[in-house]
Amino acid sequence: MIRIFLALLALTLLPSGGAFAQDTRRTDELMKKSGLWKQLEHYDTLILSGLETELGKSGVLVDRNGLKKAATSFSADNLRRDVRLVLDKEMTGADEAEVLIWLSSDIGKRLTGIEEKFGDNADSAATQRQQQAIAEFVKKVPESRLALVKRMTSALDAGNATAKAMGNMTIAIAYGAAMATGGEAEIAAKLRREFDAERPQMALMMERLMIATYAYMYRGVSDADLGRYVDFIESPAGLRYHDASSAALEQALTLASLKFGQELGELAKKAPNTKRT
């Protein structure tokens, strides 16, 4: 995906007095109060851990310092910068102010706290245990509660958004590696064709996974409070915010993946053609 350019600032002259219209931005405040700021903290650690695990299985010898450098493509500062650019473009100051009213409410703060705690986990073993707990929990969720969670998942378009982000990250990594090594860009193009063909099935699978995840994440929230949250998500302001934040996260992760792929390609060129015995 091509790097997003800074949106041009449109200065609208007011008819009465020649002053410029003001659109106060509170993007960083929005990112922090929504939990997005904190959500971006652990991607580099998770990426590094996953990569080291896979390389350990394969026995390929790669410079660990080089891997750490590559993983900084997903550093919190880099991701926050790129998320901020998209939110600045896709939302207005009025949009931000309206969403911040919800996020600053007691229920908004409580739900954000739940989301932050749920996502504050850079331990792969703990993540695996959590996934097992989710799979068991969702089997016991009452139909009425599940219907509410499904409303949320549908409003967020969570299955499609997750599948799209995963596909874009994989393709960007492959394309970045091809750029660095002089390899064939056709590899990435082939991945794109395969992903596009499989995307409907992947989106359905991700939707089911997100329904189970949300059911587990909000298990301590009453039906009434969760209903209020879904009402906010389905509101015009809520939909604009979630569309913008989803696009921002996808953009940031795709850019990071492209850089990550380039770094891996450089490492591959330097790596010895041997494996551990």
Per-residue model confidence as pLDDT tens digits over 87-96: 999 999 999 9
pLDDT at 65: 86
Least confident of 15-24, 105-114, 118-127, 230-239: 15-24
pLDDT at 16: 36
Chain-centre distance of CA 186, in angstroms? 26
pLDDT at 56: 62
Residue 170 has pLDDT above 60, yes or no: yes
Question: 275 by DSSP, 3-state: which?
Answer: strand
Residues 6+ apart with CB under 8 A from 165: 249, 250, 253, 254
DSSP code, position 26: -
pLDDT exceeding 90 applies to what percent of the chain?
A: 62
Average pLDDT score over residue span 155-183: 88
- Average pLDDT over the chain, rounded to whole? 85
How sure is the predictor about 61, in pLDDT bands with cuts at 50, 70 and 90?
A: low
Angle between helices 76-90 and 236-270 (to 10 degrees): 140
pLDDT: is 124 or 264 the higher one?
264
Within 10 A of 175 (CB to CB), how many other CB atoms are there?
23
Angle at 115 between CA 99 and CA 87, to 5 degrees: 40
Residue 6 has pLDDT above 50, yes or no: no
Task: Tell me whether residue 195 is exposed, middle or buried, using C-beta atoms within 10 angstroms of its C-beta: 0 to 12, 13 to 18, 19 or more.
Answer: middle
Average pLDDT score over residue span 63-88: 92
Residues 6+ apart with CB under 8 A from 248: 82, 83, 84, 85, 86, 87, 90
**Could you tell me if 68 and 44 are in contact, meaning their C-beta atoms sit under 8 angstroms apart?**
no
pLDDT at 271: 66
Least confident of 18-27, 112-121, 128-137, 186-195: 18-27
pLDDT at 22: 43
How sure is the predictor about 57, in pLDDT bands with cuts at 50, 70 and 90?
A: low
How sure is the predictor about 72, in pLDDT bands with cuts at 50, 70 and 90?
A: very high
pLDDT at 24: 72
Residue 60 has pLDDT above 70, yes or no: no
Angle at 34 between CA 20 and CA 39, to 5 degrees: 120
